[in-house]
């Protein structure tokens, strides 16, 4: 890629990806690299600037990550954040000390607005602090640019060497003017022009895919999720009918979802490609008969997917490329891009073993999820696909507690449809992390008209989350819950009770199984 580049050197901080995303939000391309990357390799990448992340360590621990002094002498601008700032001070001869108590959370910081990093920032600005060690003396040639009552050096800079540092985290949302600071670094210090635009990504990627694939044959497992949909459309624009997409409908999709995917990608759809839909519901139901244990269900659904796909791939014969919807967080988490990781969820996991192909193609491997969505919009993919909420590979199979049957699938599909419809009507759909209906395996007594009923209970779930590792139960308005409940018990046969799941993650998970 021929773009301006900012490198985030990762010292083990939890926000490494976030920093890279924020820089990209400034329209400057950014990659995360390990702090162990040799200086020669960094130079060869010709970055416009480098950002050091935070990290859990103290610079005085022998085991903590350090960096050679030469990095500060290359003339490339550097911004050190948190541990990165302490490391800069320590390596260049300043002092770092351990405070008796940590400074943590929202903190008012006084900044020197004549400093380039704080240009246009308020003199007193709220920043996010999370540190115990602090810089007590700046290295020679540096000036202090920010402080708090307990942190004498919350910011420092040396314009001559283009070295800058903040003790707080400009990348997190809680630092209210953090984007301004990062943008100052990227534009005013590093001199970037901002050439990272999704429209140009689309254009260059299509061109690169054309060159790479030539007249080769390409196979894509299309799930209808955002990543595989965007990958498929990019390829379709590049090579048209040389692409075959196989969509395995396991019958565990949300109501109408299979048809929606077919409407977009199928023969009457929007794109030039070969589309194969495999309706495999019956064989899934057969395999899942009598199976109650969650892990066993997941395993069966995953394995069956591979078998179905294998059969289709055999019919197609050997292909040159297999598409994977790997995105940048997968690449970073797998060890900083050293190896191509095969996603372990069932949409792709195991496929390379059963398909006869020469190479894997991953057109989205350098993009964050929000960028994938922007590319989707650029490509004209319908919004309901682009903004689709995450849906697990095993589908409704893990939203039906206990044995999966055709009757239960129908119940949960209908209930979930009503729930989603009412959430959208109430204008709550964009703000929630994930929401869905699940079918508990509980039946209870109710009364309908003059009759006793003995029917299932539906559980509604809605969570707010930024990373899906932790989540809070969303506090939905009571009127919405009441409306959904009323509609479900009236419209969905087999349900006489609706409950709301108030549990966060942990201790629960987002899905029920």
The reply, when asked if residue 320 is annotated as ligand binding, is no
Given a contact cutoff of 8 angstroms between Cβ atoms, the answer to whether 66 and 87 are in contact is yes
Pair of tokens at residue 32: 């995360």
| Six-digit token string for 436 | 């869905």
Neighbours of 496 (CB within 10 A): 20
Binding mask 416-445 for ligand XMP (x = CB under 6 A): ------------------x-----------
Per rule CB under 6 A, is residue 472 in the interface with ligand XMP? no
Task: Determine which one of 26, 82, 151, 158 is catalytic.
Answer: 82
From candidates 329, 390, 446, 494, binder to ligand XMP by CB under 6 A:
390
82 belongs to the catalytic site: yes
Task: Name the segment binding ligand XMP (CB under 6 A); options: 282-290, 309-317, 372-380, 392-400.
Answer: 392-400
Query: Which of residues 47 and 393 has its CB atom nearest to ligand XMP in the complex?
Result: 393
Residue 330 and residue 17: Cα distance in Å, rounded?
11
Region near ligand XMP per CB under 6 A, out of 3-11, 183-191, 203-211, 388-396: 388-396
Give 358's contacts (C-beta < 8 A, 6+ positions apart): 319, 320, 321
DSSP 185: I
Determine which residue in the list 393, 415, 460, 462 makes contact with ligand XMP, applying CB under 6 A. Answer: 393
335 labelled binding-site residue: no
Q: Which residue, 48 or 373, has its beta carbon nearer to ligand XMP? A: 373
Asked if 511 is part of the footprint of ligand XMP (rule: CB under 6 A), the reply reads yes
CB of 512 to ligand XMP, least distance (A): 8
Find the Cα–Cα–Cα–Cα dihedral 228, 232, 233, 235, rounded to 10°: 140
HSE, side-chain direction, 13 A CA sphere, residue 357? 22
In whole angstroms, how close is the CB of 350 to ligand XMP at the nearest point? 13
169, 190, 192, 257: which one is catalytic? 169
Say if residues 321 and 361 touch (Cβ distance below 8 Å). Answer: yes
- The site for ligand XMP, by CB under 6 A, has a size of 11
Residue in 170, 392, 397, 438 binding ligand XMP, rule: CB under 6 A: 392
Is 510 near ligand XMP (CB under 6 A)?
yes
Q: Which of 103, 171, 362, 513 is catalytic?
A: 171
Residue located via tokens 């508990």 = 440
Measured from the CB atom, the residue of 104 and 468 that comes closer to ligand XMP is 468
Q: Which of residues 154-193 bind ligand XMP (CB under 6 A)?
A: none
Q: Which is nearer to ligand XMP, 65 or 393 (CB)?
A: 393
Which lies closer to ligand XMP via its Cβ, residue 255 or residue 346? 346
223 is in an annotated binding site: yes
Select from 105, 99, 106, 154 the least CA-distant residue to 132: 99
Q: Is there binding between residue 509 and ligand XMP (CB under 6 A)?
A: yes
Candidate residues 468, 477, 479, 502; the one interacting with ligand XMP per rule CB under 6 A: 468
Task: Starting at the earlier edge strand, list the strands of the sheet with 243-249.
Answer: 274-279, 243-249, 218-221, 321-323, 359-361
Instruction: Indicate whether 483 belongs to the interface with ligand XMP (CB under 6 A).
Output: no
Measured CA distances, 232 to 98, 211, 223, 375, 407 (Å): 52, 17, 10, 12, 33
Q: State yes or no: 226 annotated in a binding site.
A: yes
Tell me which residue of 366, 294, 300, 358 sits closest to 329, measured CA to CA: 366
Decide: 1 and 366 in contact? Cβ < 8 Å: yes
Check if 220 is active-site. Answer: no
> Rounded distance, CA 410 to CA 439, Å?
10
Is residue 169 annotated as a catalytic residue, yes or no? yes
All residues at 6 or more sequence positions from 393 whose CB lies less than 8 Å from its CB, including other chains: 223, 301, 302, 305, 345, 346, 347
Per CB under 6 A, does 345 bind ligand XMP? yes
Determine which residue in the list 251, 376, 394, 438 makes contact with ligand XMP, applying CB under 6 A. 394
CB nearer ligand XMP, residue 87 or residue 367:
367
Q: Is 84 annotated as a binding residue?
A: no
Identify which of 229, 467, 465, 505 has the alpha carbon closest to the alpha carbon of residue 347: 229
Instruction: Determine if residue 225 is labeled as part of a ligand binding site.
Output: yes
**CA separation for the pair 88, 483 (Å, rounded):** 57
What residues are designated binding site for ATP?
223-229
What residues are designated binding site?
223-229
Which residues are identified as catalytic? 82, 169, 171
Q: Which residues bind ligand XMP (CB under 6 A)?
A: 345, 390, 392-394, 434, 468, 505, 509-511
């Amino acid at each position: 890629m021929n773009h301006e580049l900012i490198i985030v050197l990762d010292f083990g901080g939890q926000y490494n990806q976030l920093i890279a995303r924020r820089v990209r939000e400034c329209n400057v391309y950014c990659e995360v690299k390990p702090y162990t990357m040799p200086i020669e390799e960094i130079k060869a990448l010709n970055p416009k600037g480098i950002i050091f992340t935070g990290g859990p360590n103290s610079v005085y621990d022998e085991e903590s990550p350090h960096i050679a002094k030469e990095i500060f002498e290359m003339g490339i601008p550097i911004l050190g954040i948190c541990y990165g700032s302490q490391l800069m001070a320590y390596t260049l001869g300043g002092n770092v000390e351990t405070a008796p108590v940590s400074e943590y959370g929202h903190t008012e910081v006084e900044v020197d607005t004549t400093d380039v990093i704080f240009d246009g920032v308020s003199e007193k600005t709220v920043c996010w602090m999370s540190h115990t060690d602090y810089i007590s003396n700046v290295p020679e040639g540096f000036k202090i640019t920010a402080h708090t009552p307990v942190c004498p050096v919350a910011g420092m800079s040396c314009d001559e060497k283009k070295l800058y540092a903040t003790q707080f985290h400009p990348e997190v949302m809680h630092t209210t003017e953090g984007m301004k600071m990062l943008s100052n670094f990227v534009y005013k210090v590093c001199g970037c022009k901002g050439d990272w635009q999704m429209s140009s990504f689309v254009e260059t990627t299509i061109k690169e895919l054309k060159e790479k694939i030539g007249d080769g044959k390409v196979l894509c497992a299309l799930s209808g999720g955002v990543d595989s949909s965007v990958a498929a459309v990019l390829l379709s624009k590049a090579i048209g009918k040389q692409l075959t997409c196989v969509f395995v409908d396991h019958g565990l999709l949300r109501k109408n979802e299979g048809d929606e995917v077919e409407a977009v990608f199928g023969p009457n759809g929007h794109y030039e490609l070969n589309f194969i839909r495999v309706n495999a519901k019956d064989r899934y139901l057969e395999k899942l008969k009598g199976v109650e244990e969650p892990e066993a269900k997941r395993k069966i659904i995953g394995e069956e997917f591979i078998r179905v796909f294998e059969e289709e791939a055999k019919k197609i014969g050997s292909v040159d490329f297999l598409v994977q919807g790997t995105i940048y967080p997968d690449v970073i988490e797998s060890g900083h891009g050293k190896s191509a990781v095969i996603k372990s969820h069932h949409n792709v996991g195991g496929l390379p073993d059963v398909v006869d192909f020469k190479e894997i193609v991953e057109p989205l491997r350098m993009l964050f999820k929000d960028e994938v969505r922007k590319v989707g919009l650029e490509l004209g993919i319908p919004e309901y696909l682009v903004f689709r909420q995450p849906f697990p590979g095993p589908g409704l199979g893990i939203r039906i507690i206990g044995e999966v049957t055709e009757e239960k699938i129908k119940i949960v599909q209908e209930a979930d449809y009503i729930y989603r419809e009412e959430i959208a009507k109430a204008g709550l759909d964009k703000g929630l992390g994930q929401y869905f209906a699940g079918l508990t395996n509980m039946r209870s007594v109710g009364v309908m008209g003059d009759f006793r009923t003995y029917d299932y209970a539906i559980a509604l779930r809605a969570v707010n989350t930024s990373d899906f590792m932790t989540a809070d139960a969303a506090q939905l308005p009571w009127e919405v819950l009441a409306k959904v409940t009323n509609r479900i018990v009236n419209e969905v046969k087999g349900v006489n009770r609706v409950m709301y799941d108030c549990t966060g993650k942990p201790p629960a998970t987002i899905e029920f199984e």
